Structure 1
Amino acid sequence: MHVVITGANRGIGRALAQGYAQAGEDVTGTARSGDDGPRLDVTDPESCAAFARGLGDRAVDLLVCNAGVYPDKGQNLDTGYPPEMWAEAFATNVTGVFLTVQALLPHLARATAPKIAIISSQMASDSRAPGGSYIYRASKAAALNLGRNLAVDLGPRGIAVGIYHPGWVRTDMGGDAADIGAAEAAKGLMSEFTALSLASTGAFRTWDGQDHPF
């Protein structure tokens, strides 16, 4: 199985890449800088196209859209959340997912049972709205909506799409007070990706196997 993981140079992405490599799978883990794997800036259409060309005629069995940013942590409602911060987050967390999927559709089409996993967050859910982190919450909600609609359009092509809350993970983004480590999150997510099928496409699931409310 060939697995492509965006943002695989740190955190959950790195843990997923390590987990699949240890399982003997063929892993292509990307990084924006290109220092820790093939270069892929998901916000840049040319970078996405170049990455896709670099895969040649290889099939992609599983695409994990993991690259993401959380720029507005600690921002103040009265004075914070500048427009450029909104643009940065949506370019990576939403447009970046779409551009990556779009560029790799021919490679997904070459697989027998292709899958796309989009890493969103419980912060995307309408059922969890405690305030704050407006940019991150809105971008992850948009990623959830994107995944749901991709599931509709890609189902007839035989491509299953799942959207996932990875847990509150001890990473640079999640912080030291988070509930679980990256390896534990990756193990649970890998199990969920295995279970993903056309029968469950469009589902919003947690790392530990629960349906998450939209």
Structure 2
Amino acid sequence: MHIMVIGASKGLGRALVEGVGTAGDTVVGVSRQRPHSVQSENGATVTWVEADMSHPVAAADALAAAAPHAIDVLIYNVGIWEAKAFSEDYNFLEDSDDSIQQLVGVNITATLLVLKRLLPHVLRSDKAQVILTGSTSALRQSGRPEVAFGSSKFALNGMADSLREGFRNQGLKVSVLQLGYLNTEDTLSVPVSEAAARDEGHTVPVHDVVSVVRTMLSLSDASFMREVLLPARYDERF
């Protein structure tokens, strides 16, 4: 199986590179720069492509040129947020025009262009699966005020719905992971029990997301998970 993880240098993306592949698989990580000492926990071959999503056209072209002939699973894990997002100091009216345009460029424009370039590679696979990393901020009445970030994550839902309809006859599976607050401090090398205890049930360990994705990849060709909602246990919004 060929798996490509876009946005893979740290946090959840790195955990996905290290945790979803097994012996015989090839996992292609994508980020601005290749991080040090990334390797699969389960014997998959790890390769890397350097691409900067803040330059959407150049990044999409670079990925199209470097992509394997067929991609079985494309995991898109890119997203930036406002400088003061998720803090009491956040104020939409104080966000600069440039910062909003940059956020839209990375979170929406780059996503669309990369999907356009890479879908032909995905559709060459008998598996043909796309997994988009969304956010609970993309849910109605999410309880979050971040306007630009929330809008960009809502856009992922629209992309997923449209891709399913446009490529249903070609068997494309499209899933969205609606993730709550994540504990990205603890890597997979940290025991999951320790990572789960860090924030006393208020953040989701990356281990749990990796477990969910492994389950998604283990399903038969007859089914798929359309949407997964994964909030923290004590997230008061849920």
Give the TM-score of the pair, scaled to structure 2: 0.75
Q: Return 5+ residue gaps in structure 1 as ranges.
A: 209-214
Does 2:140 match 1:90?
Answer: no
Does 2:215 match 1:191?
Answer: yes
Aligned length: 202
What is the aligned partner in structure 1 of residue 154 from structure 2? 141
What is the aligned partner in structure 2 of residue 54 from structure 1? 66
* Alpha-carbon shift at residue 145 of structure 1 (Å): 1.3
Comparing 119-128 with 21-30, greater Cα deviation is found at 21-30
Structure with the larger strand share: 2
**Relative to structure 1, is the Cα distance of residues 166 and 77 closer, same or farther in structure 2, using a 3 angstrom cutoff?**
closer
What is the aligned partner in structure 2 of residue 6 from structure 1? 6
Instruction: Spell out the pairing of 1:18-167 with structure 2 (5 A cutoff).
Output: 18-22=18-22, 24-34=24-34, 37-42=48-53, 43-55=55-67, 58-72=69-83, 73=85, 74=87, 75-77=89-91, 79-128=93-142, 130-167=143-180
Q: Return 5+ residue gaps in structure 2 as ranges.
A: 37-47, 186-197, 232-238
**How far apart, in 1, do the equivalents of 2:215 and 2:161 lie?**
20
| Contact 2:82/2:95 (8 A) holds in 1 | no
SS of the residue aligned with 1:30? strand
Specify which of 177, 193, 205 is matched with residue 181 of structure 1.
205
| Contact 2:63/2:114 (8 A) holds in 1 | no
**Relative to structure 1, is the Cα distance of residues 165 and 196 closer, same or farther in structure 2, using a 3 angstrom cutoff?**
farther
The share of aligned pairs that are identical, in percent, is 20
Give the TM-score of the pair, scaled to structure 1: 0.82
Higher-Rg member (1/2): 2
**How far apart, in 2, do the equivalents of 1:106 and 1:90 lie?**
24
* Alpha-carbon shift at residue 83 of structure 1 (Å): 1.7
Could you say what the CA RMSD is over the residues aligned between the two structures, in angstroms?
2.5
